[in-house]
Structure 1
Amino acid sequence: MSDSFLAIDFGTSNSLVGAYHNGKTHGALPLDPKAADQTLMRTLLYFPNPDLCYYGAEAIEQYIEQDMEGRLFRSFKSHLPNQSYLGTVIDNRIVTLENMVGIFLLELKKRAEKHLNQEVTKAVIGRPARYSMDPVADGFALHRMEKAAKMAGFQEVQFVPEPLAAAFDYRKQITQEKIVLIGDFGGGTSDFTLIRLRAEGFDSKDVLAIDGCPMAGDALDSVFMSHRLNEYFGAKSRYRLPMSSNVLTMPPAVTQKLNHPAHIVHLKEKDTYEFIREVKKCSLGAKDKEAIERLFVLLEDQQIFPFFEAIEKTKRGLSGAESFDFRFDYPEIEITENFTTAQFIEWAMNTRQKIFEGLDRCLDSAGVAPGQVDLVCLTGGTAKVPFIQAELENRFGKDRLQTQSHFHSVLSGLVESASFWAKGQKVT
């Protein structure tokens, strides 16, 4: 048992598991028989009731099959640094965030163990360069991950920054020493590692800097809601409470949840849900009331997941066209809106700025200028967004960018980290 280690790339959107087992490295294990790529498991939990949970592709399949009853959770990793987010309640049963993450990690562990035919109690788990820009919140997120890993049955865990793991993978392609920037753009975080890569080996001193930003694909998805689509769901609905002359609009605490794919599911929690019901009663006009009714249909008919999938499709569509029609066709939520690339670029300006501030900090802390970087290796879906690509090309030149990376590069490096650990070498 001591010779077996799992390598877990626990992502906001997708997760993968590899292993170092009996002296051999094992790449991505086939964990999800119902997925198109069986090595790629969607980071999803679906509870039709508090005592039953489905995972990955089966979570979506069962969610649809069971008429979208129960609770589907996505992007729950992004809550880790949020100290005010404790978890949720499913039919009077409290499920903490650590429970949610632990349940998912346990399922990954069980499926990997079945494939290896071996119990495994040691794991290398990837972590973002920063869960949060606040060091206290970042430490809190890591503490939560440690608790979740223990709940999943891991007795020993090492956390390796995901961009550093990606760097280990890229090292295999290198024949001479280079200064390489690894950019890992996921669903929840954008992470950067500046590293001196040598074909002959790795020393911890080769890591020149690690930095990042807790914004990526989900933050880009949310701009479509916050700038246009949330109006369909009461974000601008006006209401007047009984015995008051003040005209109010939906408070930010509600609209911020509405805008984000990880947070919107929590509008179903009792206190928030009752507040929205009260707002509907006190709405000033028919249009205001209709918008809130549309929100109830979105929540009660479990249309949150398909709605944000339609937003994701629109984001991808704008990668190849100047404009793209967002379409959502569900009774009482029939929405067609045209979005342009120019609008997307303008709305995403703050997210883009924060991402590249993380990159600049990484370069500055290493004392390396963009011109001194020999190679820029990119991984993650958000790296393909055209204005992210254009900004990188502007800083480093197109010829230094390597963008044909895939989901497995971080995992491959985590597996190598596990082999270092097994041989008694320090990883970070």
Structure 2
Amino acid sequence: MRYSLEAYVGFIIFTVLIDFLLHRLVHKDDEKQIGHFAFPLGTFWFYSVPTVFILSFSGIFATIKTVDSPQLYVTFQWLLVAYLSIYLPKLFYYLGYKLTHSAIRVKSKFSSDGKIKKMNDGRYPTISRKKFLSQVGIFMASAPFISLMFGVMKGRFAFNKRYTKLSFPNLPEAFDGLKIVQISDLHLGSLNANYKEMEEAVRLINDEHPDLVCFTGDLVNNFYEETIGWEKVFSKLQARIGKFSILGNHDYGDYSKWPSPQDKTDNLNKIKGSHMRLGFNLLNNQSQVLESNGDKIVITGVENWGHPPFPQYGDLKKASKGVEDIPFKLLLSHDPDHWDAEVKKDYDYDLTLAGHTHGMQFGIEFKNFQWSPAKYKFRRWAGLYNEGSQYLYVNRGLGYLGMPARVGMPPEITIIELTRGPLGTEPM
């Protein structure tokens, strides 16, 4: 609750500050002319719009902990889109205006009447400094607005396949060439019955003819009711050997107050049952040995384990019992922080699959460069990581949470091929 309160207070400060600074910026010259306490045209909108958002978010903040329906999450995410579509452009307008103003502040570039000096023998018209800065601000403001709209309309369902080929000397011969498809973080309540779009994701997965499909947690936002109707989509997933899943931090119902502990337990049990209904074999601190032609590998799944405020229900010691001698081990663990905190230090899992971060649903990825705000919160936030003989892959998520958009961080379908050979990665 403390973390949520801090975020809420930060939101209010950000909203009021942006509107105050932008109001002062736009009406600065007018106030000099008509008095410091005057109310120039447009003032109403600068104060009424943030008031509407603050009151709206206040209502959601007050009820989110006691809500007994997933619909409020859908309302919240579209309210957030409306908020960001207004306030991100405002922020970038202000930054563009102020930064450009600072860059051209040298007096020699301007005439005494505030006009930009004529260039090229007067062939181009002059423009006032304020108008020029405003145009720069408008240009800067358009970028986040267009990006957000693209992320809402197209980006959230622009499914992206990412291929990785890993070689292990201890991979049994019968499993040479094993193809794993990983998906993560569906958040079915956020998808809001977009069945047709997710059927396309299922088709893309089935086109790969995987041996294993691994789902690494966060089936829902909070409630069992979010899963209703989705069996007609995900039961169509095909895998030669099997489909395995684990729970994520959102699957426990910890983000709401329940009438009684039994109600929360019932919700969790129904969510667990939904994994089977959707066609997955749920591994709760459990291992399953896979055998082919006398060779064996093991797939282990743990419940969520994360640093506070995320829950630590995972029991890797319990899950690993009895499979210590299996030559190759695959682990499903929702939170990538678990890999650094426990997995790679105390256990010999060759490959761990995680999700959780979503890549913050926003970032920039170009060739070997990748950046996202997620990197400031998570040490391992997207893609493949390696230390010694152990690998971790962090899936960027197939669904979305909070904001129904993805900008530069498309929903991911991970395809990993395992081969027998010298330890390392191979191009695909």
TM-score (norm 2): 0.28
TM-score (norm 1): 0.28
Normalized per residue, which structure has more strand?
1
- The structure with the largest alpha-carbon Rg is 2
